[in-house]
Every structure is written in structure tokens, then in C-alpha cells.
Amino acid sequence: MALDWPEFQEQADPRFGGSGLWEICVAPVDAADWACLLAALPQSMWTCHFELNGCPAPLPARFDSSINRDNNDLLRVDVEGLKLHLHFHGADDIAFNVSLDDLADEKAFRRLERFMAWLADILNKPVAFGELVVPSARDSRAYVDWVRPGAGKA
């Protein structure tokens, strides 16, 4: 099932309370899911870069080896021009942030959908997409759509 582009446009419109930061999220996850993602990304069609405190570093093999409270660990994934950012904040979810500025047209939105389908397939788990919910905005409307495993197959 395709993500709904017209509904996303309406929900993302700042005039109606849309925020500038959205996320792709898989939860709950475990160490095996993190290992699967970190092994699959370098083999995927997308470019990825890992940084520790702003300096390039090798991509860790598992979540445990990358977490350090004093570091700002960041994995950047370029999905055909669409920039996704993954911070290593917690072991129980995988959440990529995407800027609304990068989702300006339906082509970019479909690239996001392809990445979500790939992620759902490699982890064999549903992947959610919605506004990033910050503690001060918990009561805001959140657009959420799902891509389930197998959705990217014809």
C-alpha cells in the first residue's frame, strides 16, 4: 500500500500545525535488528556515512559498540538525494529523522517510501512514518502511516 502523498502534504503544512522534522521509526527492536541494519546498509544502494562527534568513523557492527553518552553518534543515509539521519539514542528503537525541506515533492516522498519498504523487508517488521513528537508537543496531531514487510515487492 502506498503512502498517501496528498494527506502528507496537508498534515505537513505549517499553516495547519505541521512540524519541520519527521521520522521513520521501527520499534521495538533488539540487538539482532540493529546488527542486521548496520550490516545491510553498506550493502544497499544508498550512501551512508557514520560520524562520532562530527568526525568520520567506521560504521559499528552493532548498537552496543556505537553508544557513548559523551559522543554525538550520527549515521547519515543519502536515499537518492533524500537525507536521513539516525542518532544512536536508544537500543529499543531505530528512528531516522528527515527534514520536511527534503520532502518537497512526490518524487522525494516515493524515495522515502522505497527506503521504508527496504527497511521493513530487512528487519521483517513494520516501519512507521510520522511527525517527530517532542515532549512539548505531545498533544499535537501526528500523521502516521506504515509500510509493512513485503510492501516493496511487485
Q: 76-123, pLDDT tens digit by residue?
A: 999 999 999 998 877 888 999 998 888 889 999 999 999 999 999 999
Backbone angles phi, psi at 98, to 5 degrees: -140, 135
What is the structure's pLDDT at 151?
A: 73
> Distance between CA 103 and CA 89 in Å, rounded?
24
Fold of the 5-10+20-147 domain: TATA-Binding Protein (3.30.310)
Name 108's Cβ contacts closer than 8 Å, sequence gap at least 6: 81, 82, 102
- Per-residue confidence band for 64, with pLDDT thresholds at 50, 70 and 90: low
| Mean of pLDDT values over 141-146 | 57
- Per-residue confidence band for 5, with pLDDT thresholds at 50, 70 and 90: confident
Q: Considering the entire predicted model, what is its pTM? A: 0.83
61 pLDDT more than 90:
no
- CA-based torsion, 63, 35, 144, 79: positive or negative: positive
- Per-residue confidence band for 153, with pLDDT thresholds at 50, 70 and 90: low
32 pLDDT more than 70:
yes
What is the structure's pLDDT at 136?
A: 40
